[in-house]
């Protein structure tokens, strides 16, 4: 017997102990020849892609196979910059091979493979290998509205803005699932190549919990451009509030959760700049903000640094906000704004003014509908204006074309 050689009866015990420690091998360490005979493990267990392979493509072959005997265990882990997951697979061919069952390989990932097998004589071997997949040069992400875990109004529309133009819209839309509890019909609609919105057929019911499953990682959005996200977020629908602004009557009627309507005097856009008419959704709230006519095409007509209780209604600059610079008698009698909806307020934002009452009781996602205005209809892509489309027209904007 040579020095340090183990008796054959003890080799199996050594292998079992080594197998128990295999999961703790440091990346890049030499591959252990863990067998209870004297052959290298690689002679019995073959892994494709090979150990140390790089730039493996998503659809390249991935297999663990034994030359004889059978596989006892295969453990595969996918590791990427923000997480890891166990890769599901199935042993086939009477135990001679293992293949993944979960679809293509993930891109920009490191894969570790730990396999245990017995040969025809009953000898056990264990092998650890690693490989890395192709890293795309270009990635895209989707920026989601509303914020995760937020409580929103019943008119909330789920909106994604993409960091790069999307040409394979069907693949991207298919990778985003929006579902609700209680269940309701929900559909997507594309506005150009960089925005995808989802809404239900009718306003959400109060108390609905909405879940957004984002499975964009490695989804091809355009030639050479792949998604980078894999996450799930939720938000909750709060009480119902729908406000109707009658521009001709200079009055806003607020209906909140079926309570008696509250009527609030307002001023809307004047004759030269009438307010858009149609359904708009509160998308942002600011205790105080600056409004500069230069940013919305009105030149130097106004520059107010401290507009109180401001709520954004459109992407083009329509707000519902507190107004302290107009005379009190204007509210309820005249339309004097540049297109915004003004409620009486005081400089610095009062606590018991009409503007403060409405601001404090409103949620992002509440609907504000303007009627009897000489302004243009608000378009569906101006802010969260999708409620101005019929359900049929909304569904027609889906890349999946699954129309009723």
- CA atoms lying within 13 Å on the CB side of residue 376: 9
Strands (E) located in 108-208? 110-118, 124-133, 138-140, 142-145, 151-152, 158-162, 176-181, 186-190, 195-200
* Catalytic choice (189, 277, 309, 340): 340
Least Cα distance to 338 among 270, 292, 289, 291 occurs for 270
Residues in contact with 8: Cβ distance below 8 Å, sequence separation at least 6, in sequence order: none
CB 124 within 8 A of CB 117: yes
In this structure, what token pair is assigned to residue 396?
């027609």
Q: Please name which of 122, 116, 65, 115 lies closest in space to residue 94, comparing C-alpha atoms.
A: 65
- Indicate if 340 belongs to the active site: yes
Using CA atoms, how far apart are residues 279 and 386, in angstroms rounded to an integer? Answer: 8
Q: What is the rounded CA–CA span in Å between residue 349 and residue 311?
A: 13
From the list 123, 309, 321, 338, the catalytic residue is 321
As a dihedral over the C-alpha atoms of residue 141, residue 193, residue 156, residue 397, rounded to 10 degrees, the angle is -140
- Contact 72/16 with Cβ under 8 angstroms? no
User: 3-class secondary structure for 59-74?
Assistant: CCCCEEEECCCEEEEE
Tokens 């009452």 correspond to: 357
Instruction: Compute the distance between CA of residue 172 and CA of residue 398 in angstroms, rounded to an integer.
Output: 11
Name residues whose C-beta falls within 8 Å of residue 375's C-beta, 6 or more positions apart in sequence: 247, 269, 273, 274, 275, 276, 277, 339
CA distance 275 to 338: 8
| Length reported for the chain | 404
User: DSSP label at 17?
Assistant: H
Closest CA to 57 of 112, 131, 115, 114: 131
Q: Respond yes or no: is residue 321 known to be catalytic.
A: yes
Would you name the residues annotated as active-site residues? 321, 340
């Amino acid at each position: 017997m040579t020095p340090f050689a183990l008796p054959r009866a003890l080799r199996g015990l050594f292998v079992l102990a080594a197998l128990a420690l295999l999961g703790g091998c440091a990346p890049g360490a030499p591959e252990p020849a863990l067998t209870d005979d004297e052959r290298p493990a690689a002679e019995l267990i073959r892994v494709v892609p090979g150990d140390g392979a790089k730039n493996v493509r998503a659809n390249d072959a991935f297999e663990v196979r034994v030359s004889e005997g059978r596989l006892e265990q295969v453990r595969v882990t996918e590791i990427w910059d923000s997480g890891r997951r166990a890769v599901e697979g199935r042993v086939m061919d009477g135990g001679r091979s293992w293949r993944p069952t979960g679809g293509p390989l993930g891109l920009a990932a490191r894969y570790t493979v730990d396999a245990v097998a017995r040969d025809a004589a009953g000898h056990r071997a264990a092998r650890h290998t690693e490989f890395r997949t192709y890293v795309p040069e270009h990635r895209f992400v989707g920026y989601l509205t509303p914020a995760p875990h937020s409580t929103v109004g019943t008119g909330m529309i789920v909106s994604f803005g993409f960091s790069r133009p999307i040409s394979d819209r069907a693949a991207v839309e298919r990778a985003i699932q929006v579902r609700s509890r209680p269940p309701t019909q929900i559909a997507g609609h594309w506005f150009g190549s960089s925005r995808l919105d989802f809404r239900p057929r009718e306003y959400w019911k109060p108390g609905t919990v909405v879940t957004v499953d984002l499975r964009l990682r490695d989804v091809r959005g355009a030639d050479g451009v792949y998604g980078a996200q894999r996450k799930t977020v939720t938000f909750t629908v709060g009480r119902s509030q729908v406000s109707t602004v009658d521009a001709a009557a200079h009055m806003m009627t607020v209906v909140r959760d079926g309570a008696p309507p509250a009527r609030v005097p307002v001023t809307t856009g004047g004759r030269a700049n009438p307010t858009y008419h149609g359904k708009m959704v509160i998308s942002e709230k600011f205790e105080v903000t600056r409004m500069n006519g230069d940013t919305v095409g009105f030149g130097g007509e106004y520059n107010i640094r401290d507009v109180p209780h401001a709520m954004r209604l459109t992407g083009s600059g329509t707000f519902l906000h507190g107004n302290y610079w107009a005379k009190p008698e204007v509210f309820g009698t005249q339309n004097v704004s540049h297109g915004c909806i003004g409620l009486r307020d005081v400089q610095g934002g009062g606590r018991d003014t009409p503007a403060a009452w409405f601001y404090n009781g409103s949620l992002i996602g509440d609907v504000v509908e303007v009627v009897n205005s000489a302004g243009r209809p608000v378009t569906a892509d101006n802010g969260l204006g999708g409620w101005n489309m019929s359900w049929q027209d909304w569904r027609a904007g889906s890349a999946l074309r699954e129309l009723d």
